[in-house]
Structure 1
């Protein structure tokens, strides 16, 4: 790392939370003669790149900013550089820098600085609304605000897997949600197909999500996580409200997938260009009855497998009095093979918006998980032994 790059990274660490871009711009001007620095963050719909400062949103798919965002690599056009901003697979947006000399070492240093900006944005966002507010092309409903604050991130990448999810309609979601966590040995994923309307639906989903997190962090099995969340929801609502939930756990050393289907959203496997539903056992939704016992199922994932979780708001979307349906969904999922999970999710949501000619009316959640195979990750995950 050059001294100039080190100083730029240090300027980000030492900057006040609301002045990251200002302090970075000043340091880049001194170190590299750069006169223009602007951050564009992707909005909640994954449809626009919104400037932190003054300027117009970027919406054209062919724009260099979107090519940078999609391919996650620097793009240079006539001394204007676009650099991906993100952290651990989570794509936050792009950094526009000008002028940028066509010097590989400088481009590499600026790319590293843009990544450092992504880390700092994540670190400071809990203490300032500056960056969250700038990601919105319109006002969020209160229910949507609650749901987005509940999410872990929209994408995650590790050597063994790649993961992405999206809620729709992004600015007015109610009860649909997802949650995930990994510890280097296992990946946990929960997808909730919420019920009800507005804040009441968001509160119900929040209760279930925190109950699942509490059980997961206590080291309980997947079935016991479902049982604890089921008890929490039932204790409050006595069966009058419940939640369809899919719980998944992947052992990163082996690719063994454990599933608990609590009246869940749909789980679809894309393997070798074939699309089919995994044969999971339907069990009662969380909170429907008191003291439900849940059963686990196990499946072996193969390297290259892609899993989609979709709520009923996807299949049941209606455009021109025609339902989107299973056939259209399966046909589209086959076409996502070459795409990274976040791009696959964004493409599916875009296809749905085009189908309904606007934002979705019903809540929809889409999650995509790629299993790339057992491999070392942070020194904790070993290769799959012969069996």
Structure 2
């Protein structure tokens, strides 16, 4: 009681305190009271921080960890959002953080859903393209030598589907009879399974028309009309076809909007140009013009699709017709398989690390009869 009386007296009249020890005792008591009050305020402040900031942040952090580390929660985001909503009513920073996290999860779920759809669609397209490649590979003749009992000529062909497309190109060669060989190369306007199926139909129609003793121009005329029927997809085929009379070397050919082949004789390589007719499957009753030449022993004919000349490098340059004919000239005296392999190697070297964007298809015919 004396100390309390001294404190009151100290604050009301400091001069009333004459004893030094009593003075310092009062000072110490004041300091102690201040420290106790400070301690109590600190505890209350920390309790407030713990309750209103630290604990909610830890809870939100745990919810976030659960969401990011547990696949089931990613699939069941409604539960996570309901847990976050417990904090969204807060008017301070915690509420802002919770609302932001809720929006982030909703946006992320929407993005994931879109990504799942895109991935599913991409897988479907890749599956379709893979099927198209297999269809293409399965119907193209690929056993060589193709006619081991025929010494008058030799034929070799190859088709390399692009990585992301397929089904558009095809080639064919077959004996119409013992004295006539047909060769065909073509390119369908579309890609994927529709193109692969259209390719099969076009290949079958061209072959069946030739086997029915039609001339090349008649075969194209009939095949074109048949392809135009029920062509709801408006697809078409560029095609080039020739028929070799084996014992004489007479060669009859017709063009339906396709690249002209290259003819190499003992002197040089030249383009075997002709008046190109309209594509197959575009318009009915189109007339096709036949052309004729006579092949000499040693002559070679190179057929190709536009994936060869339109191969592109990292400078956005095309491989082009000039490089093609130069490569054919350079390797023209090698075995015909080596010639096509060499052209393909030159294309790959030219393109470098640029992905092949179109099918590369080539066929070479060599006439040997003396």
TM-score under structure 2 normalisation?
Answer: 0.60
Task: Name the structure 2 match of 1:168.
Answer: 160
Asked if 2 retains the 8 angstrom alpha-carbon contact of 1:273 and 1:334, the reply is no
Greater strand fraction, Structure 1 or Structure 2: 1
Aligned pair count reads 236
Within 2, Cα distance between the matches of 1:201 and 1:276?
Answer: 32
Within 2, Cα distance between the matches of 1:264 and 1:300?
Answer: 21
Within 2, Cα distance between the matches of 1:295 and 1:329?
Answer: 26
Structure 1 residue 191 displacement after superposition: 0.6
Task: Name the structure 1 match of 2:364.
Answer: 368
Structure 1 residue 140 displacement after superposition: 8.1
5+ long unaligned stretches in structure 2: 1-127
Asked if 2 retains the 8 angstrom alpha-carbon contact of 1:154 and 1:165, the reply is no
Does 2:325 match 1:330? yes
Determine which of 130, 133, 136 is the counterpart of 1:144: 133
Within 1, Cα distance between the matches of 2:343 and 2:151?
Answer: 24
Question: Which of structure 1's runs of 4+ aligned residues deviate more than 6 A?
Answer: none
> Cα RMSD (Å) of the superposition?
2.0
Within 1, Cα distance between the matches of 2:343 and 2:357?
Answer: 16
5+ long unaligned stretches in structure 1: 1-138, 375-387
Does 2:174 match 1:181? yes
Does 2:155 match 1:153? no
Within 1, Cα distance between the matches of 2:166 and 2:154?
Answer: 24
Asked if 1 retains the 8 angstrom alpha-carbon contact of 2:129 and 2:192, the reply is no
Structure 1 residue 366 displacement after superposition: 0.8
Asked if 2 retains the 8 angstrom alpha-carbon contact of 1:239 and 1:288, the reply is no
Greater CA radius of gyration, 1 or 2?
2
Cα separation, partners in 2 of 1:289 and 1:140, compared to 1, 3 Å = closer
Within 2, Cα distance between the matches of 1:192 and 1:214?
Answer: 16
Greater helix fraction, Structure 1 or Structure 2: 2
Does 2:269 match 1:280? no
Structure 1 residue 310 displacement after superposition: 1.4
TM-score under structure 1 normalisation?
Answer: 0.58
Structure 1 residue 209 displacement after superposition: 0.5
Report Cα offsets for 1:329-355 as digits up to 9, x if no partner: 111001122221122111111211121
Cα separation, partners in 2 of 1:240 and 1:317, compared to 1, 3 Å = same
Cα separation, partners in 2 of 1:196 and 1:225, compared to 1, 3 Å = same
Does 2:223 match 1:229? yes
Task: Name the structure 1 match of 2:249.
Answer: 255
